[in-house]
Structure 1
């Protein structure tokens, strides 16, 4: 096992930024695909049990209505996906996109304890959960990916700011 680990540790994929770029690219795809879904009537209605039981997003229906709430979420998700995409080139926009991603998944993960009939009898009861509930559980992993991106983006942006400040200081000396 030690020999395998030693060989794997020498691979460029392990030593470089592949994981960071891969997570960013997959998060962009997730946001863009999910944002497009929100523009369809069937998706707006499929979101009703999620939004109406979300302690951070329940207000969307009284403010925007069913279709408006879906449009709002779709627009926000598209914007976050665009910020994540632009984050490949701009570290400040990367931080904004990662913050938006974290906020998105905090909002959806907080629905989990309040989701109705998560362990309903048709599914077999605990530990067999219903499909809509399980759909939310994946957001725990997406929240983790968002936190990872946010950490990396903050570190990269702060290093970039330090480098700019250092360069400016050196240019004036």
Structure 2
């Protein structure tokens, strides 16, 4: 019996997927930039309200403090960038980097539910969202879609009706 799951470099998959390289390298820039910023006091203070109110991530704030939590997140983000970079040449890293990226944006989208100030009260409340943090978080929906596109192109299985080029 053969393994029904194949790992590929996303942009080298079936059909014309070269455009996925744009998504990969855009995500790399974002993770390098944001990850590097996590080592500054400015960024640690900026993300503290998201982290301390998150049921998923508040333990980081409690365990490491605001700056320590920011360092941990920075290491994870820089690791995601590294996996995405390696994913341009190694199929396993293509899938790993895309999965790490998707997990990041799934988590940050939960901040919509836990961060105070997302709904804009002066505009009638939800679905009206504030510029910050609401609209700041909303962009993660597109980044999640980019991450999932890379992931789906990196992991082929019986659920996808796609044949790869050799």
Q: Hey, what does 2:133 align to over in structure 1?
A: 132
Q: Is the 8 A contact 2:45 2:66 kept in 1?
A: yes
Q: Is the 8 A contact 1:55 1:111 kept in 2?
A: no
Offset of 1:16 from its aligned partner? 2.7
Q: Distance in 1 between matches of 2:144 and 2:56?
A: 15
The alignment partner of 1:60 has SS state of: helix
Offset of 1:55 from its aligned partner? 2.2
Change in CA separation of 1:108 and 1:128 when aligned onto 2, cut-off 3 Å: closer
TM (normalized to structure 2)? Answer: 0.79
1:93 aligns with 2:93: yes
Change in CA separation of 1:17 and 1:93 when aligned onto 2, cut-off 3 Å: same
Q: Distance in 2 between matches of 1:54 and 1:130?
A: 19
Which runs of 4 or more aligned residues in structure 1 lie more than 6 Å from their structure 2 counterparts after TM superposition? none
Q: Is the 8 A contact 1:88 1:94 kept in 2?
A: yes
Structure 2, gaps ≥5 residues long: 1-14, 158-162
1:115 aligns with 2:106: no
- The count of aligned residue pairs is 145
More divergent stretch after superposition (45-54 vs 74-83): 45-54
Q: Hey, what does 1:28 align to over in structure 2?
A: 28
TM (normalized to structure 1)? Answer: 0.76
Offset of 1:155 from its aligned partner? 2.2
Q: Is the 8 A contact 1:54 1:108 kept in 2?
A: no
Q: Hey, what does 2:60 align to over in structure 1?
A: 60
Counterpart mapping for 1:142-161 below 5 A = 142-155=143-156
More divergent stretch after superposition (63-72 vs 16-25): 16-25
Q: Is the 8 A contact 1:119 1:130 kept in 2?
A: no
Greater relative contact order: 1 or 2 (C-alpha under 8 angstroms, separation 6 or more)? Answer: 2
Pair member with larger Rg: 1
